[in-house]
């Protein structure tokens, strides 16, 4: 499928947001300051995405499957804690 055709299909897609939430790591993380590169400081934008998952015949309902995905992402944020941080300006440079 060509890119234009795929984008056309996405334009026709009707989605309804049922629930939205903020995910946090499932375990406490070490508080630390990380330096952002110049590129990271300039290219600061949110990426809106819709993720689709193939449903297996698990017998679970939608809410249970959504909770499984949510829990997995919260556990992932423990290992990738830099994705779960907050941005703020620091006046003093640390070297």
Residues with Cβ within 8 Å of residue 30, at least 6 apart in sequence: 81
pLDDT tens-digit map of 49-79: 777 767 667 777 878 888 988 999 999 999 8
pTM of the model: 0.62
pLDDT at position 95 over 60: no
């Amino acid at each position: 499928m060509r890119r234009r055709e795929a984008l056309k299909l996405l334009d026709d897609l009707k989605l309804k947001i049922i629930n939205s939430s903020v995910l946090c790591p499932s375990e406490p993380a070490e508080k630390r300051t990380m330096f952002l590169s110049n590129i990271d400081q300039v290219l600061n934008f949110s990426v809106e995405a819709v993720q689709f998952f193939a449903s297996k015949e698990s017998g679970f309902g939608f809410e249970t499957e959504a909770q499984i995905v949510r829990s997995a992402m919260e556990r992932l944020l423990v290992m990738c804690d830099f994705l779960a941080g907050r941005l703020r300006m620091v006046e003093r440079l640390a070297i």
